[in-house]
Amino acid sequence: MQAYFGFTTIFLFVGLVFFRVIILKSQGIEAVEFGAKDKKDFKILPFAFFYFYLIIAHTFGFPTIKKQELFQLQSLSWIGVFFSSAAVAFFIWAMISFSKSFRVGLLENTGQGLITTGAFAVSRNPIYVAFAMMLVGQFLIFPSWIFLLYIFAGIFTFHRQVLKEEKFLIKQYGEEFKKYCKRTRRYF
């Protein structure tokens, strides 16, 4: 049962991103800039597709890499369901807080100004926090060494992206962003 929760939450995550991009596009807002400034972004895609396949394989019994399970504890699996569900809720809150400013990539966006309310009053990077929570939750549901590696790789990748975004936001918003950084933590 926990595997179905894990499957549902990760695909809710991805579905919400696609839904938001489509809604913004229908309003004339280009929300995807993935890979235009940094071609290395495309290296992420095969790892993401492999991750999604592993979730599907573990949930529905498709072929996968043998002997990857690290432990089998129902209580940790349910904690994983909680983490994954909390990640989706936090992600939805971040998307609502973003309003029309949501972007995939580093697109200049001065229309709404710097978003500092809602989820962004708790964390400067609530979407990355939600993704990290999701990775931890998925690992607890599907406790394999591969998902453990994804936690470390994901957090490293998120942090690298956050540092790029912060440089971008300092250029775009200057002192306003620096003040925001002083009062709001980068993650939690």
Model confidence over 95-145: pLDDT tens digits?
999 887 776 666 665 566 888 999 999 999 999 999 999 999 999 999 999
Structure confidence at residue 36 (pLDDT): 63
Residue 20 and residue 11: Cα distance in Å, rounded? 14
Q: Which residue ranges in the chain fall short of pLDDT 70? A: 33-39, 103-112
Whole-number Cα distances in Å, 125 to 14, 46, 114, 133, 188: 17, 24, 13, 12, 9
Structure confidence at residue 72 (pLDDT): 85
- pTM, two decimals, is 0.89
In CATH, 2-183 is 1.20.120.1630: yes
Strand (E) or helix (H) holding 140: helix 126-141
**How many other CB atoms sit within 10 Å of the CB of residue 97?**
19
Helix axis angle for 175-183 and 145-173, nearest 10°, is 140
